[in-house]
Amino acid sequence: MIKRAQLLVGLRSAAEPTRLRLLTLCAAGELTVSELTQILGQSQPRVSRHLKLLTDAGLLERFREGSWTFYRLAADGEGAELARHLISFLNTDIEFRRDRDRFANVKRSRAKVAANYFRQNAAEWETLRSLHVAETDVEAAMLTLALKGLPKGHRRNLLDIGTGTGRILEVFSPHFEHTLGIDLSREMLAIARARLEKVNLDHCQVRQADMYQIPLMDRSFDLVTIHQVLHYADRPADAIREAARVLRPEGRLVIVDFAPHGHEALRKAHAHRRLGFSNNEIQAWLKAAGLKPSLQKSLPGKPLTVALWRAVAKSGAEANEGRAA
């Protein structure tokens, strides 16, 4: 239930055409001020003023990473509830549909930048990953988080999202009956196939697929890994939610990425969308996806610190209780 005071504040802040457009756009994904300026065709100072009013009213939330500031629909609170109600009335308006088309162009541009980067750097991928802690240390930590206490009966299928060169499949191959890696980059998949064939890992496969729409059945994997992928994603929470969908009851998700940092050069030089993730942010996404965060580990490095998170899917009984509630 939205209290009267919040309702009045929220309605006053949203009662302007541009601000309604901003609400609708931020409901579709995280956007920077420059991206919103591009979509709306308005000046940056004007867009920034509108964003401040919506944020102050609790309808949007902002977070800063280096020189970039991102905006997204508020996740919690009365303002978030009001924002969702307002958006439900706006989706059929022709101007909002045009904005969404422009947003789609922005996303295609992001994807093109990332795809070009992976295409150009596929052969040097392992070297590029050496910006942080030694990969052998990261892999050992992943194995410990994933396998410690995991019964043999829960070591059938592994899915590696954004598999790149297939290295994680190789690392986990002795512990699982079948492993599958997915990636959008054909160049990466070609390297992964060659790598797996070279070491005769017949039970390891790769295929081209989108991490936001994985063409696999619900509850079909005992372990899902997302290794150094989320900082390229424009919708990391959605990627986690899709990973959770394919986890079997009591299956595990292991995420590896960077802790928050300020190395802006990685945006341009290596197409990083995000400059790391905080523990609170990842845990909130895990919980929103219906998972139970269980362990977190940090591996300090120079210049970057690698963080690992583990979450467990609910048991069948817990899932049923949640649906009943």
Give one DSSP letter per residue of 82-142, joined into a string: HHHHHHHTTTT-HHHHHHHHHHHHHHHHHHHHHHHHHHHHGGGHHHHGGGSS-HHHHHHHH
> Hey, which CATH number is domain 4-91, 1.10.3720.10, 3.90.230.10, 3.40.50.1100, 1.10.10.10?
1.10.10.10
Instruction: Name, in order, each residue with C-beta under 8 angstroms of 150's C-beta and a sequence gap of 6 or more.
Output: 222, 223, 252
pLDDT of residue 162: 95
pLDDT of residue 296: 93
Tell which residue, 101, 47, 94, has the closest CA to residue 71.
Answer: 47
Alpha helices in the chain (DSSP H): 4-14, 17-27, 33-40, 44-56, 78-88, 94-121, 125-128, 135-147, 167-172, 186-198, 236-245, 265-270, 279-288, 316-324
Longest pairwise C-alpha distance within the chain: 66
Q: What are phi and psi of 61, to 5 degrees?
A: -130, 150
Q: Where are the domains of the chain?
A: 4-91, 125-324
3-state SS, residue 208: strand
Superfamily of domain 125-324: Vaccinia Virus protein VP39 (3.40.50.150)
Ordered per-residue pLDDT tens for the chain, 325 residues = 677 777 787 788 888 989 998 998 888 877 888 889 999 989 999 999 999 999 998 899 887 756 778 888 887 778 888 888 888 877 667 777 888 888 888 877 766 765 676 667 666 555 556 566 788 899 999 999 999 888 878 889 999 999 988 999 999 999 999 999 999 888 888 778 878 878 889 899 898 899 999 999 999 999 999 999 999 998 999 999 999 999 999 999 999 999 999 888 888 877 888 999 999 999 999 999 999 999 899 999 878 899 999 999 988 666 666 555 5
pLDDT of residue 110: 66
Count of C-beta atoms within a 10 Å radius of residue 173:
19
Question: Residue 310: is it exposed, middle or buried by C-beta count within 10 angstroms (0-12/13-18/19+)?
Answer: buried
Q: What are phi and psi of 145, to 5 degrees?
A: -60, -40
Q: How many whole angstroms separate alpha carbon 50 and alpha carbon 69?
A: 14
pLDDT of residue 287: 97
Contact 96, 77 (CB under 8 A): no
